[in-house]
């Protein structure tokens, strides 16, 4: 679950930078593209949102699996 949280943090930093009309950290952008290589060509705001959605989905799936075991 830690990887999902890290992905959300990175995507959030990119969205905040874009919202402030600043260039996001190139390392964050590179990590977003690595996290979602199939959609790496889309605009950064959409890519960041997609990464967040995927991370939240993974977290929900892991949580559901944990509840099913318990």
Q: Cα separation of 32 and 44, whole Å?
A: 9
The pTM is what?
A: 0.85
Cβ contact 44:11 at 8 Å:
no
Find the domain containing 38 and state its range. 2-69
Cβ contact 13:31 at 8 Å:
no
Q: What is the pLDDT of residues 12-55, one digit of tens each?
A: 999 999 999 999 999 999 999 999 888 878 999 999 999 999 99
Cβ contact 19:12 at 8 Å:
no
Q: How many domains does the chain have?
A: 1
Q: Cα separation of 57 and 41, whole Å?
A: 22
First to last CA, the chain: 17
């Amino acid at each position: 679950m830690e990887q999902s949280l890290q992905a959300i943090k990175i995507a959030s930093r990119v969205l905040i930078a874009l919202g402030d009309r600043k260039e996001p950290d190139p390392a964050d952008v590179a990590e977003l593209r690595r996290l979602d290589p199939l959609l790496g060509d889309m605009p950064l705001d959409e890519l960041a949102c997609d990464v967040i959605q995927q991370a939240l989905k993974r977290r929900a799936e892991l949580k559901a699996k944990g509840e099913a075991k318990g």
